[in-house]
């Protein structure tokens, strides 16, 4: 074959060696919109039950009054937390830490027993996505109608439906943001301020911030939050073992999969029970195919179980081709009773024991806790001085916090140095319900009761006519 000639000088043809093809890794993959098909069944009902329960608690709690005040209020400005009859001060932060540890342990326990129960049924992301999808379904129609609408050019019908959907979404998101802020500032006052547009800037900011987060996460991000943003999805596998209940496809029973008519004897044809209808994929809120095995995207919602059971019923096949099962259970074809026996394994028992101990410890400590807090601060302006009668005096500032819902009267005492006496303007200090008061306290000792230096004294505060009392350590300075 002759070489092709060009008009200029002949070009040398350099053979190019075939380069090995490098596989490119995409750091960002554009997501395909998922249009989950709605389905009814046991798990769908459980999911809706949890939506109602969690939202009843979330939206309802701040409106309940308790002892003339909002039952649950985290009053950050006043640095006081009210939980029904319980008044907590920043000094009680240990209870918050305890609550967080208990929540984490409970999550470990539930995950070890039944996988991602939290994700599928109670996580706010799941719950709000479910609510937003329900609105979408009601306004735009079923899966096919939604797909068709999104594929169409802009028309009046599309504009009206989309606008209406977004208005409803924004309404829900705003109410959610308002409720959230209502846990940190009295919700009735917040409502009035909203109506009169007299809001403080931080309240407006957080209402809109939380509303925006709800609107964005439940309306647009949806399964992306679970797949890419939630850390729990990544480390949950560390809490799974072969006896953890997870949504599983019974490959042994389902394969080989193939479509067939209802009256076909599929066993005679060597087919499994899966008719390859794809319904389990269409209902999945994260858009995965559980027949490919357990995937980190699976939030354990059980909707594919409902979908497949519907298909099995129509085909007159036994239910449970997709079911909650364990790896061991699936491999050994265990019955539900055998599965249940494996629940009580060492990991679960240890989590339960530690959790039980923590809960009992925390409840006991809450019951026996003294409803009185005292902070002692030395008055740095006057270290020590000699007062009338030749006595030596140190001045302190006491913050007395009444952690009860009733007005209280407290008496102050001191000990630690012979002859020490308390000199205050008020011998008994009155503090209102759930309030705190600063009082100046003067401690006096005989002039030569102690050599120069710092000496430990204890300042006691005792409830008049009650049993609450607190003793705080302080330093008494004797100058040279």
Interacting positions 213-252 with ligand SF4 (CB under 6 A): 247
Angle value at C-alpha 42, between 36 and 47, nearest 5 degrees:
60
Instruction: Tell me the closest approach of the beta carbon of residue 311 to ligand SF4, in angstroms.
Output: 5
Per DSSP, what are the bridge partners of residue 248?
A: 323
Span of 192-200, 261-269, 280-288, 338-346 interacting with ligand SF4 by CB under 6 A: 280-288
Instruction: Tell me the closest approach of the beta carbon of residue 432 to ligand SF4, in angstroms.
Output: 53
Instruction: Tell me the closest approach of the beta carbon of residue 321 to ligand SF4, in angstroms.
Output: 5
Instruction: Tell me: does residue 274 bind ligand SF4 (CB under 6 A).
Output: yes
Alpha-carbon span 45 to 39, nearest angstrom? 10
Mention every residue, 6+ apart, whose C-beta is less than 8 A from residue 198: none
Span of 23-31, 160-168, 299-307, 346-354 interacting with ligand SF4 by CB under 6 A: 299-307
Burial class (CB in 10 A: 0-12, 13-18, 19+), 66: middle
Interacting positions 300-319 with ligand SF4 (CB under 6 A): 300-304, 307-308, 311
Q: How many residues bind to ligand SF4 according to rule CB under 6 A? A: 29
Instruction: Tell me: does residue 123 bind ligand SF4 (CB under 6 A).
Output: no
Span of 65-73, 138-146, 273-281, 390-398 interacting with ligand SF4 by CB under 6 A: 273-281
Of 172, 245, 299, 441, the one binding ligand SF4 by CB under 6 A: 299
Instruction: Tell me: does residue 279 bind ligand SF4 (CB under 6 A).
Output: yes
Instruction: Tell me the closest approach of the beta carbon of residue 133 to ligand SF4, in angstroms.
Output: 13
Instruction: Tell me: does residue 187 bind ligand SF4 (CB under 6 A).
Output: no
What would the two tokens of residue 357 be? Answer: 């101990």
Instruction: Tell me: does residue 272 bind ligand SF4 (CB under 6 A).
Output: no
**Binding track, positions 372-411, relative to ligand SF4; x by CB under 6 A:** ----------------------------------------
The answer to whether the CB of 246 falls within 8 A of the CB of 330 is no
Of 193, 255, 276, 405, the one binding ligand SF4 by CB under 6 A: 276
Of 122, 168, 199, 277, the one binding ligand SF4 by CB under 6 A: 277
Of 131, 207, 271, 290, the one binding ligand SF4 by CB under 6 A: 290
Alpha-carbon span 60 to 176, nearest angstrom? 11
Nearer to ligand SF4 among residue 227 and residue 391 (C-beta) = 227
Nearer to ligand SF4 among residue 131 and residue 311 (C-beta) = 311
Span of 207-215, 290-298, 405-413, 452-460 interacting with ligand SF4 by CB under 6 A: 290-298
Nearer to ligand SF4 among residue 184 and residue 249 (C-beta) = 249
Instruction: Tell me the closest approach of the beta carbon of residue 342 to ligand SF4, in angstroms.
Output: 21
Instruction: Tell me the closest approach of the beta carbon of residue 276 to ligand SF4, in angstroms.
Output: 5
Span of 61-69, 130-138, 194-202, 270-278 interacting with ligand SF4 by CB under 6 A: 270-278
**Binding track, positions 315-354, relative to ligand SF4; x by CB under 6 A:** ------xx--------------------------------
By the criterion CB under 6 A, which residues form the site for ligand SF4? 247, 254, 257, 274-280, 283-286, 288, 290-291, 298-304, 307-308, 311, 321-322
């Amino acid at each position: 074959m002759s070489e092709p000639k060009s008009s200029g000088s002949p070009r040398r043809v350099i053979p190019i060696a075939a380069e090995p093809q490098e596989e490119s890794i995409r750091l960002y993959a554009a997501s395909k919109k998922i249009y989950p098909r709605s389905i009814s069944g046991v798990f769908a009902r459980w999911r809706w039950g949890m939506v109602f329960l969690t939202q009843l608690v979330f939206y309802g709690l701040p409106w309940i009054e308790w002892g003339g005040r909002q039952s649950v209020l985290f009053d950050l400005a006043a640095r006081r937390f009210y939980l029904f009859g319980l008044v907590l001060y920043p000094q009680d932060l240990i209870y918050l830490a305890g609550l967080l540890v208990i929540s984490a342990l409970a999550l470990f326990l539930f995950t070890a027993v039944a996988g991602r129960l939290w994700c599928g049924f109670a996580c706010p992301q799941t719950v709000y996505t479910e609510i937003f999808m329900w609105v979408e379904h009601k306004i735009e129609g079923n899966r096919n109608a939604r797909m068709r609408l999104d594929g169409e050019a802009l028309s009046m019908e599309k504009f009206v439906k989309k606008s209406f959907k977004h208005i409803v979404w924004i309404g829900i998101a705003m109410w959610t943001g308002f409720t959230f802020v209502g846990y940190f500032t009295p919700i009735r006052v917040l409502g009035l301020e909203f109506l009169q547009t007299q809001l403080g800037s931080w309240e407006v900011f957080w209402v809109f911030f939380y509303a925006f987060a709800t609107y964005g996460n439940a309306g647009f991000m949806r399964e992306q939050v679970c797949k890419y943003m939630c850390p729990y999805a990544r480390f949950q596998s560390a809490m799974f073992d072969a006896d953890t209940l997870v949504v599983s496809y019974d490959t042994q029973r389902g394969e080989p999969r193939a479509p067939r008519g209802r009256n076909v004897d599929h066993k005679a044809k060597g087919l499994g029970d899966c008719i390859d209808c794809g319904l389990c994929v269409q209902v999945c809120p994260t858009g995965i195919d559980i027949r490919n095995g357990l995937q980190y995207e699976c939030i354990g919602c059980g909707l594919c179980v409902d979908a497949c059971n519907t298909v099995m019923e129509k085909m007159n096949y036994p239910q449970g081709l997709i079911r909650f099962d364990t790896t061991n259970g699936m491999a050994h074809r265990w019955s539900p009773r055998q599965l249940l026996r494996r629940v009580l394994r060492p990991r679960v028992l240890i989590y339960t024991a530690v959790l039980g101990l923590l809960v009992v410890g925390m409840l006991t400590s809450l019951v026996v806790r003294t409803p009185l807090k005292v902070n002692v601060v030395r008055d740095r302006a006057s270290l020590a001085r000699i007062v009338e009668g030749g006595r030596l005096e140190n001045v302190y500032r006491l913050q007395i916090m009444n952690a009860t819902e009733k007005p209280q009267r407290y008496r102050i005492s001191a000990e630690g140095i012979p002859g020490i006496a308390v000199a205050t303007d008020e011998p008994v200090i009155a503090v209102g319900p759930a309030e705190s008061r600063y009082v100046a306290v003067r401690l006096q000792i005989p002039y030569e009761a102690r050599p120069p230096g710092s000496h430990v004294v204890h300042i006691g505060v005792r409830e008049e006519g009650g049993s609450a009392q607190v003793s705080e350590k302080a330093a008494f300075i004797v100058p040279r």
